[in-house]
Structure 1
Amino acid sequence: MPPDLRRRGGLPVSERIVTLTTCPSRNVAERIADALVEGRHAACVNIIPGLTSVYRWQGRIEHDEELLLVAKTTGDAYPGLERTVLALHPDELPEIVAVPVQTGLAGYLQWVSEETAGDA
């Protein structure tokens, strides 16, 4: 079977994806973003400040000031991204959501694939 038709975690492994992860502080966000890019688990990670998350946790409505990480990666690199976030994130259950990229600038999408190709 051609490698682009294999599936890992429900995604074709060659598919480009965007992941969303919230972080409680700039320090945590930068540490995770650096590790993702350094480890080739993401080609680029944007850190977006000024986010307020409202959610139910253990029966209570919570309001937290957070930062959002937006990582551009691939299905192949996603397992390393998930392992890295779980290892570095202080929350018991961190947000890690992957969204498939439907289309985009071909050169940029190729760059994402190239920058994450070293992930194993």
Structure 2
Amino acid sequence: MDSEHLIVLCTCPDRATAEEIANTLVEYGHAACVNIIPGIVSVYEWQGQVEHGEELQLLAKTTKQAYRKVEETIQRLHPYELPEIVAVPLVKGLNDYLTWISIQTSKHRQAHD
């Protein structure tokens, strides 16, 4: 199976942001499921300083066709100037689960602004 399914990763600074993004992605059919994983620490350089930040990791299950809407939604709702938005292909998975992702994300409901 060609990798039409993706997992989009995004870190969030707090639970409220993570839940707002996750709920919006699922509600509007841009992602079938979003896991919110608390307790991660990100180490990165920003504006010449090494930063350590406690964050939450989002794992959004979606498709290549829905990716643009996932990216747009995260950018619109995320407080960071440069949020992490990266997608990795889902190489294999339970066929019924992958079909469910496709069905859920094919709804493409109109997002509110």
Shorter chain as normaliser: what TM range?
over 0.9
Q: Does 1:44 align with 2:49?
A: no
Q: Deviation string for 1:28-52 (max 9, x for gaps)?
A: 0000000000110000000000000
Distance 2:18 2:56 in 1: 7
In the TM superposition, what is the alpha-carbon distance from 1:63 to its structure 2 partner?
A: 0.3
- Structure 1 counterpart of 2:23: 34
In the TM superposition, residue 119 of structure 1 has moved relative to its aligned partner by 1.9
What is the rounded CA distance, in whole Å, between the counterparts of 2:72 and 2:57 in structure 1? 18
Query: CA–CA distance in 2 between the matches of 1:92 and 1:119?
Result: 27
Superposition CA RMSD, Å:
1.3
Would you say the 8 A contact 1:76–1:119 is kept in 2?
no
Per the normalisation by structure 1, the TM-score is: 0.87
Q: Distance in 1 between matches of 2:108 and 2:61?
A: 14
Q: Secondary structure at the match of 1:63?
A: strand
Residue 71 (1) aligns with residue 27 (2)? no
Match of 1:62 in 2: 51
| Equivalent pairs, count | 108
Residue identity opposite 1:33 in structure 2: A
* 1:115 lines up with 2:104 in the alignment: yes
1:102 maps to which of 75, 91, 97:
91
Rounded to whole Å, the distance in 2 between the matches of 1:64 and 1:103 is 32
Residue number among 17, 33, 42 corresponding to 1:53 in the alignment: 42
- SS of equivalent to 2:60: strand
Higher relative contact order (CA 8 A, sep 6+): 2
Calculate percent identity across the aligned residue pairs. Answer: 58
- Deviation digits for residues 68-115 of structure 1, max 9, x if unmatched? 000000000000000000000000000001000111000000000000
DSSP 3-state at the match of 2:8 = strand
The answer for unaligned runs of 5 or more in structure 2 is none
CA distance in 1, matches of 2:72, 2:108: 12
Give 4+ residue runs of structure 1 displaced > 2 Å after superposition: none
- Provide structure 1 residue ranges, at least 5 long, that are not aligned to the other structure: 1-11
